[in-house]
Each structure stands twice: as structure tokens, then as C-alpha cells.
């Protein structure tokens, strides 16, 4: 059952409202009044039934998700900080200051599952629409990056040890008596293969790795023999995954790098400090002049950069309503000239038939194209795109969209703060006669 918004509840006569005690010029306060919360109410109200215990208000849940990605918090920490910050409470629609947790951290997980990919895209769409005409530019800049998953660096020994430990868990849960558990042997082998790689220890390390693979295969085969038919059907997918891990070789394609995130693949972007990254490739499109993210795409396979253009341009169409006329890319998108009536421009050798004016235009385009590189760095470092903690393919696209929405909301906060400082600037210029920006900055700091 859908919950009621705090604004629809009766006001208490004992306490002042947050609107009366907070600074109305604070950017977050003003942003809360600009977001069309009624759109989320209309979009998500159909996902609730007409009976049962009332759920938490939609504005509260959407606001918590925006604040989580905007200020780089986890599910537990965003709930704890919400209690301490009255501006966060006003942003989420509370009328009066609250002294207790609004929700359990697990409620955020349930809400993400409820709204799904379409609901998260609605949050991103609203963050784009709030920028108005600045988000309707005809030229966009597109680039790709890697969204790393929250997994450890994969090695054969780690994966084989995890297979063995999971086989122990299945045997204990189903009360299967193993012929031999190999617990002491596995402990010794793990310690051996973790030794420093020297010429003297190389043979022992290789032998320990082979032995771990052998023990894992023995346990999987024994479980297949001894499990009841109902249990075999329940664990069929898990055992098939363990067989793939134990059988894969170094040169194989579509390898498994994580047991709890099997869809992760290995990506090499040519970084000296990080040759290989394990996650998914994502593509972002930003407007050329205003720097607003107007399109995102998460790829399930490691395609080359040009193969992401169709997906990211479809996202631009859904979020903005129109396709861009021109897309500026780097050399990784070579081979693409036109996609969905959008002209793709990549850097190359200047042609002899180009005029001086055309050369200058291309030069200015690709100087501006470089602006997407720091944008990606900020989104990864400040808005949780650098490491994804949400599970599955649906978690990849949700984390990407919410990170992009957080970037757009952050730009709105900067804009609101700049407008306020601009008003103060003109007021101080008229009152005190400041003549330049440097004098004004020293005066207001």
C-alpha cells in the first residue's frame, strides 16, 4: 500500500516547521523546491497495491537515493546522516525535524527492486529536464569508461578455493557426508601457493594450484553423486558454474572472474597503473557546452567503443526527446560515420581540401571534446561510479544512471549557489563600490 507524504499530514502545534527555521537561500533547500516530486508520485504509484501496511512515502525514498549518490554514502550511512541533517530531511519532504531513522537500510534495496530500471531512468530524466534548454544542445560528446565491480582481483587459486568452500557449505546444508573434506589439506595448499614467487618455490606453488583444482573437481563430482534429486535441481546452476570455473584455461574467452558476479568481464583500457579492470563498459554522452549528462549505456559484453553508440544515442532520445545532430568522439570510435541520423566526428589528419575556417572549427571541437575526461573522473570519484556495489546487470545500469543523475543535480546546486553569489556581488558593488572580481572575492570570504 502506498504511503502518504509528510506534507499531507496534520501539522503539530508544538514544533516549528523546517521551512520556518532553515535558510531558504541554501542551494539544497532551493533544489528541493524545484524538483517535480509529483512526477515520481504519478510514475511509481501504480507499483503499490491498494491494501496492506502503508509503505514509506515515495518522495522520501527517491530523495534518499538522490542524496546517497549525490554525497557518496552507503545505504546505512545515508540513513544515519539523514537523522542529523535538517536540510536532508526537508529535501525528502519532512515537515518537522525527526529524531529517528526514517527507514531501514534494506528498504532502499526493496525500493530499487520495486521501481526497476525504468524507475531509475525516470530520476535521470528529471535531472536532465531541470536544466531546461541547456540540455537540448545539438552537439554532444561521447566517451566510454569502465565501471568496476566490487570483486577481488581474480586468480585461479582464489576461485578454486571459493569453489571448495561453497561445496563445503552445500554439503553442510544438505547433510551430505563427504568421503573426505580436505580442510587441512586446503589450508596448507593456500598457504603454500601464497608464498613469494622465487625459483626455489615456483614448482611448489604450481603444484599447490593444480592440487586445489583437483580437490574442487572431486568435491563437485561427489556432490552430484550424493545429492537428492530435489537438491540436484536446486543447485544445478551453481554446480554448472563451478564446472566452468574448474575447466577454464588461460586462453579461453568468456571466462568467469567471480562466483557471485559471473557476468563480470575483463577490460583493458591501456592504463599503466591498472592494466586490467573487471566490471562492465559504460558509455556517457554530455552536452558540448553545458556539460550535462544526457545519455548513458551499460554494455553486457566487451564491445569496442564504436559499438556503444547506438545504445547511448537511444538513451539520449529517451531522456531528451530528440537525437543530437553531431557527436564528438575520440579515435576509439573509428569506423562510425553516421548513427541514427547523428553525424559522428572523430579526430584524424586534416584534409587538404579543408579551409582555414573549417580547420579552426574542428580544432575547437576536439579541444572541447577533452572536457569529458575530467567529467568521467569526477563521476567515478565523487558519485560512486568508480566501484559498483549493486548486484547483477540490473545493478550496473542502476548505479550508472543514479551516478549520472547525481552529476546533473550537483550542477544544479552549483548554479543555484552561483546565482545567489551573483546577487550578493551586484549588491556589494552598488553598496561598497567593488571594481573587480578579486576584490569582491576577498570581501565575501
Domains of the chain, earliest start first: 6-125 (no CATH), 136-152+265-389 (3.30.420), 156-247 (no CATH)
pLDDT of residue 445: 44
β-bridge pairing 338-339 and 293-299 = unpaired
Between the alpha carbon of residue 271 and those of residues 145, 164, 267, 274, 277, the distances in Å are 12, 34, 11, 5, 10
pLDDT tens digit sequence for 140-161 = 999 999 999 999 999 999 999 9
Position with higher pLDDT, 334 vs 123 = 123
Q: How far apart are CA 67 and CA 60, in angstroms?
A: 10
pTM: predicted TM-score of the whole model, two decimal places: 0.88
pLDDT of residue 55: 83
Give backbone dihedrals phi and psi of 345, rounded to 5 degrees, phi first.
-115, 120
Q: How far apart are CA 41 and CA 168, in angstroms?
A: 47
Give backbone dihedrals phi and psi of 256, rounded to 5 degrees, phi first.
-95, 125
pLDDT tens digit sequence for 231-250 = 999 999 999 999 999 999 98
Binned at pLDDT 50, 70 and 90, residue 401 comes out as very high
> Does residue 200 register a pLDDT over 50?
yes
Count the helix, strand and coil residues of the chain and give each as a percent rounded to the nearest 5: 55, 10, 35
H runs (alpha helix) in 25-176: 27-34, 37-44, 58-70, 75-84, 86-91, 105-129, 156-173
Percent of the chain with pLDDT over 70: 89
Determine which helix (DSSP H) or strand (DSSP E) holds 239, and give its type and residue range.
Answer: helix 236-247
pLDDT tens digit sequence for 325-344 = 999 998 888 888 888 889 99
What end-to-end distance do the CA atoms of the chain give, in Å? 50
Neighbours of 359 (CB within 10 A): 12
Amino acid at each position: 500500500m502506498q504511503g502518504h507524504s509528510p506534507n499531507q499530514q496534520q501539522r503539530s502545534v508544538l514544533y516549528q516547521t523546517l521551512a520556518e527555521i532553515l535558510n531558504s537561500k541554501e542551494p539544497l533547500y532551493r533544489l528541493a523546491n524545484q524538483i517535480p516530486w509529483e512526477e515520481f508520485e504519478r510514475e511509481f504509484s501504480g507499483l503499490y497495491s491498494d491494501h496492506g501496511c502503508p509503505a514509506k512515502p515515495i518522495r522520501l525514498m527517491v530523495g534518499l537515493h538522490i542524496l546517497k549518490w549525490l554525497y557518496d554514502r552507503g545505504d546505512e550511512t545515508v540513513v544515519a546522516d539523514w537523522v542529523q541533517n535538517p536540510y536532508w530531511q526537508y529535501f525528502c519532504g519532512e515537515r518537522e525535524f525527526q529524531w529517528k531513522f526514517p527507514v531501514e537500510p534494506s528498504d532502499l534495496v526493496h525500493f530499487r527492486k520495486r521501481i526497476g530500471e525504468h524507475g531509475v531512468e525516470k530520476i535521470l530524466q528529471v535531472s536532465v529536464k531541470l536544466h531546461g534548454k541547456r540540455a537540448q544542445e545539438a552537439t554532444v560528446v561521447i566517451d566510454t569508461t569502465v565501471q568496476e565491480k566490487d570483486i577481488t582481483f581474480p586468480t585461479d587459486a582464489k576461485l578454486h578455493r571459493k569453489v571448495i568452500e561453497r561445496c563445503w557449505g552445500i554439503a553442510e546444508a544438505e547433510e551430505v557426508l563427504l568421503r573426505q573434506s580436505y580442510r587441512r589439506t586446503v589450508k596448507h595448499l593456500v598457504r603454500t601457493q601464497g608464498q613469494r614467487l622465487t625459483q626455489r618455490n615456483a614448482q611448489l606453488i604450481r603444484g599447490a594450484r593444480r592440487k586445489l583444482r583437483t580437490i574442487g573437481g572431486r568435491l563437485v563430482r561427489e556432490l552430484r553423486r550424493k545429492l537428492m534429486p530435489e537438491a540436484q535441481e536446486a543447485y544445478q546452476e551453481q554446480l554448472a558454474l563451478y564446472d566452468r570455473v574448474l575447466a577454464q584455461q588461460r586462453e579461453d574467452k568468456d571466462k568467469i572472474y567471480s562466483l557471485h558476479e559471473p557476468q563480470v568481464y575483463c577490460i583493458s583500457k591501456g592504463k599503466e597503473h591498472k592494466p586490467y579492470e573487471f566490471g562492465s563498459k559504460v558509455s556517457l554522452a554530455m552536452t558540448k557546452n553545458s556539460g550535462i549528462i544526457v545519455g548513458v549505456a551499460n554494455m553486457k559484453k566487451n564491445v569496442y567503443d564504436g559499438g556503444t553508440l547506438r545504445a547511448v544515442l537511444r538513451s539520449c532520445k529517451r531522456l531528451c526527446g530528440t537525437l543530437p545532430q553531431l557527436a564528438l568522439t575520440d579515435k576509439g570510435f573509428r569506423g562510425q560515420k553516421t548513427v541514427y541520423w547523428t553525424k559522428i566526428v572523430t579526430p584524424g589528419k586534416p584534409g587538404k581540401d579543408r579551409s582555414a575556417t573549417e580547420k579552426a572549427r574542428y580544432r575547437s571541437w576536439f579541444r572541447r571534446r577533452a572536457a569529458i575526461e575530467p567529467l568521467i573522473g569526477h563521476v567515478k570519484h565523487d558519485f560512486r561510479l568508480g566501484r559498483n556495489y549493486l548486484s547483477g546487470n540490473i545493478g550496473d545500469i542502476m548505479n550508472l544512471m543514479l551516478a549520472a543523475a547525481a552529476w546533473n543535480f550537483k550542477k544544479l546546486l552549483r548554479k543555484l549557489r552561483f546565482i545567489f553569489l551573483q546577487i550578493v556581488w551586484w549588491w556589494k558593488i552598488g553598496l561598497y563600490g567593488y571594481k573587480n572580481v578579486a576584490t569582491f572575492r576577498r570581501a565575501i570570504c
